[in-house]
Structure 1
Amino acid sequence: MKKIYKGILILTLGMVSACDSLLDIDPEFTQDAENFFNTQEDFDRAIIGVYDMMQPAYLNMWIGEIASDNAIAGGESVNDSRGLHEIENMSHGGVNEELRAVMRVNYTGIARANYIFENQDNIDFDGKALILSEAKFMRAYFYFNLVNYFGDMPLIVDRRISINEITSAERTPMATIYAQIETDLEEAIEVLPWTVSETGRLTKGAAMALLGKVLLYQDKYAEAATVLGELIDDNQAGYALFDDYSTLFYNENRNVAEDVFTIQFSGLQGGDYGCLVCLNGNAAVGFQSIRQYNGPLYADGNSYNLPTQDLYEAFAEGDIRREATVLDIEAFIAAQPNPDEITYAIGGGGHTGYYNNKYIKRLNERGLPDDDLTSPLNYRAIRWADVLLMAAEAFQRSGNDGRARTELNKVRERVDMPEINSSDEALYQAILDERRFELSGEGLRFFDLVRTGQAASRISGFVSGQHEIFPIPQVEIDLAGGIWQQNPGY
């Protein structure tokens, strides 16, 4: 089976070369736009360029966990990725490199998608509608990220985003952006196939799952229940829960029936520490692994994104997801036949005794040549268990507790946990709790707490009316000439 990997070609997107430019993250080697989009191969290469911009998924994974009660920033010191430590402490402001990277990466992805739409009428060929549908899906995904992080943002479609345009554009209300996201996904659903021959290509099921998520985030529960219920009932792709949760996140179990929307990686390098967005591998894995570790099963890393004791203790005894999600390093070492020979180091950025056991470097899963940067572990943006739990929430909130329990208990049955038989608000809370047990370590927790109104009661230092969204990077406000107002409280 063929597999889609990072593209060779990187297009110019109307960006200028100054280092402070809003969207200037592309390398210097570029394709002359005037001589492009004249063949089917050009469109094929261009859509791979859009796929590339989904690969900085480590940003969502880090921020979605570190901003919540699930993890601390960790790392070598508090000055090592200072922005993550500020997010952990809810002291982040307009100067934050990680948040700036979120904005730049997603707008670059939008620009690459829009570049295809700008040239869509150049030629006709079989398969063009499919490429345009993939571009619509990814544009929706990028805008969804932006509104969740920053709220109102400039909405530009069907053309490249030039420096002059983006810095003179007013911020568009979230409701308008959400309407465009829904339109893009609905149109993509009409064209995308249920299954693909090239692993990693987007599908109808992935678009339906993302649309259901988008609707859920807007509290459109009945609409979300309709979309997600149809996906579950029709399910022509054969999605299913993977039997063994304890090994689900092993490299050997990539691209299984549980994977609905997955961002693909390989063990090749592509970039380096100076250009993490250029990588072919999943950067999160090496960064989250055990510092200076020398022992069995695992390999050494940089001790970022460390799970909290609160997360570890949230799991019920006997729930196999606890060990699959959170590695208790001291307990693991003590259980080995040679514990005195196993060593590791503690970083100055904080230590909890726990590591993210889903996205962690294992000895037999390392890429080459710098295996801190070349993990082949895919990032599961949406998996089937998430679809079932989103559906359970949507059904419960729209008055169908019976169907909600059905979908919730499918997830619990997989890990041999007892059925939930509650109703009303108790059932709703059980669904939200199950999302933590099932999905922790995957970058969703902060956004779940915010959208359900539980962030202030769960996150230390969280200020209601401020921390639901992140600050606009100050340098982008400056580049926009002050027409962008900072988000409240920052």
Structure 2
Amino acid sequence: MINILKRTSILLLAGLLTTQGCKEEDIIELQPEFSLDAVNNPSTLAQVEQVLDGAYANFRAADYYGSGSGTGGGAAMMPDVLSDNLYETTLTLANSRAMADWTFQQNTPQINNIYNAMYKVISVANIVLRDVDKFATPANQKTINRIKGQALTIRALAHFDLFKYFANNYDRNSTTTLALYYNKTFTVSADEKPSRVSNKVYYDELFADMTAAEPLLSDVDKAINSVSLVTRPRLSITALHVLRARVSLYAGLWAEAITAANKGIATAPALVSNQTTFSGMYNGAAAGEAIWNVQFDAGQSGPTFLVFFATNNRSYFRPALEVATIAGTTGLVQSNDIRYSAYFTPISGGLALTKYRGKGTVSDGNANFLAMKTGELYLIRAEAYGRNNQDVLGMNDLNALRTARISNYVPQVLTGAALQTAIADERRRELIGEGHRFFDLKRTTRTITRGSTCGNIALSPAGKCTLAPTAREWTFPIPEAVTNANPNMVQNPGWN
């Protein structure tokens, strides 16, 4: 790791020791009497799997998919806060104003916390990969495949989440742009001072992990997620296809994105057009299109608190009026769209993003985060088709998704730039609050132009309304604590 591993390993062990229990078929509780042995010197394959459970538990961290009061949500709500999807309200605690206003620095705590949370997950995955093959026998090879395939997918996913924030651009073949360090071993040493690698090397490692995981997850001893439950808490072969399609889209590998999306759609649930089922994906009542959700059980908080404090109906960030309004008659998402009531709720003073307000009818913020779903696969494939000069197929996917979501939708015929604009708008509709918007704008080198609330002090304290494609703030600075400890971790351009 990046020479903060001594602290990271302590946090890791603390996380393993305090993992809370979940339903039997979901994330299994890590028993304290086993966790230290499992990390240091596992004696059984079951202990290795306990460490894998710990990797999933660490996705719930407040700066990964979880959130604190007005802070956190690095891979969940933060990309919307950083973008034009949400605006800061006068009710805010100002905990994330440096992020929302793009005034963060190398020593901003949330930058450091996001960096650490994601590398922490990687550390746990590396412990699994260090030990899992020690217990391989002909009789348990499919069990080994299931555990190892998930660990490889987790490692690739967390590295990709880091890359989106800390890489200056997403050029697949750049040998000069620096990504980060691709960590494949669990090492705790003050002498370990790794260097950042180029985008090309980093992508090579990402694709290598995903390629290695695919045959393993295709040949397992049992289903990775129980089809009888409404949760999908583990990364299956379908989730791997989603990840590969995402990475390929960012890399500009259109044919590869189409291939991965095809594989994902072939094994994913069908698109949902029913309001109850669609809303159920977010309130825990139905599986719907869920491919992978980060599971938050009772007492484990949830993903919403950066944006909406469910227990007192306080909205720190609200959807931009260009996205949705309280009347439901203007904006991208309107009341004839099943996403409107699933995602938003009118509250005093305006509309709130409430898709993760709680399970069932409870409003306590304890909800699962829907990290991968079928709708995203259609959007990835639609965009990749269009960029691969297959506009008719791209339009077919866009129409299929809109038909499922919007009442009385009339299919359209669009090509070229108009089609790509429509797909970008649909991604904004479909994926608001799901960790995509800031990166969608970054990967397509667009300017962020915040809407009508920005600059209106009666509605929002926001101080900055535009972010040019050349601005340094598209790329997070390497945290000051990291560069101080390891001079090999070169700072990103503009942050020295």
Q: State the TM-score, normalizing by the size of structure 2.
A: 0.77
Among 323, 327, 334, the alignment partner of 1:311 is 323
Is the aligned partner of 1:326 residue 2:322?
no
SS of 1:449's equivalent? helix
- Provide runs of 4+ in structure 1 moved above 6 Å: none
1:430 is matched by which residue type in structure 2? A
Quote the Cα distance in structure 1 between the aligned partners of 2:115 and 2:154. Answer: 15
Partner of 1:447: 439
Quote the Cα distance in structure 1 between the aligned partners of 2:360 and 2:129. Answer: 43
- 1:58-87 per-residue CA deviation (whole Å, 9 max, x = no partner) reads 322221110000113558655x42xx2111
Q: Does the 8 Å CA contact 1:315/1:437 hold for their aligned counterparts?
A: yes
Partner of 2:418: 426
SS of 1:147's equivalent? helix
Partner of 1:384: 374
Is the aligned partner of 1:129 residue 2:145?
yes
- 1:25-63 per-residue CA deviation (whole Å, 9 max, x = no partner) reads 235556046863221211111111111122231322221
Among 81, 85, 88, the alignment partner of 1:70 is 85
2:494 is matched by which residue type in structure 1? G
- Tell me the CA shift for residue 188 of structure 1: 1.5
Partner of 1:205: 238
2:253 is matched by which residue type in structure 1? K
Deviates more, 1:67-76 or 1:214-223: 67-76
Partner of 1:230: 263
Unaligned runs of 5+ in 2: 18-34, 67-72, 168-178, 227-231, 325-329, 451-463
- Tell me the CA shift for residue 319 of structure 1: 3.9
Quote the Cα distance in structure 2 between the aligned partners of 1:422 and 1:407. Answer: 12
Among 321, 332, 354, the alignment partner of 1:357 is 354
Partner of 1:473: 479
Question: Quick one: structure 1 residues 316 and 154, their matched pair in 2 at CA, closer, same or farther if it must change by over 3 Å?
Answer: closer
Among 247, 261, 268, the alignment partner of 1:214 is 247
Question: Quick one: structure 1 residues 197 and 439, their matched pair in 2 at CA, closer, same or farther if it must change by over 3 Å?
Answer: closer
Partner of 2:387: 397
Q: Does the 8 Å CA contact 2:285/2:360 hold for their aligned counterparts?
A: no
Q: Does the 8 Å CA contact 2:283/2:357 hold for their aligned counterparts?
A: no
Work out the percentage of aligned pairs sharing the same amino acid.
Answer: 23
Question: Quick one: structure 1 residues 23 and 467, their matched pair in 2 at CA, closer, same or farther if it must change by over 3 Å?
Answer: farther
- 1:370-401 per-residue CA deviation (whole Å, 9 max, x = no partner) reads x45xx0x2111111111101110011100111
Is the aligned partner of 1:116 residue 2:132?
no
Is the aligned partner of 1:438 residue 2:426?
no
Deviates more, 1:308-317 or 1:121-130: 308-317
Question: Quick one: structure 1 residues 301 and 162, their matched pair in 2 at CA, closer, same or farther if it must change by over 3 Å?
Answer: farther
Partner of 1:107: 119
Q: State the TM-score, normalizing by the size of structure 1.
A: 0.78
Question: Quick one: structure 1 residues 175 and 402, their matched pair in 2 at CA, closer, same or farther if it must change by over 3 Å?
Answer: same
RMSD: 2.7
- Tell me the CA shift for residue 117 of structure 1: 1.9
- 1:76-125 per-residue CA deviation (whole Å, 9 max, x = no partner) reads 655x42xx211111111112222211111111111111112222342225
- Tell me the CA shift for residue 327 of structure 1: 2.6
Q: Does the 8 Å CA contact 1:289/1:300 hold for their aligned counterparts?
A: no
Partner of 2:102: 90
Unaligned runs of 5+ in 1: 1-12, 270-279, 291-297, 331-351
Q: Does the 8 Å CA contact 1:289/1:361 hold for their aligned counterparts?
A: no
Alignment of 1:475-490 (within 5 A): 475-480=481-486, 482-490=487-495
Q: Does the 8 Å CA contact 2:42/2:131 hold for their aligned counterparts?
A: yes
- Tell me the CA shift for residue 174 of structure 1: 2.2
SS of 1:418's equivalent? coil
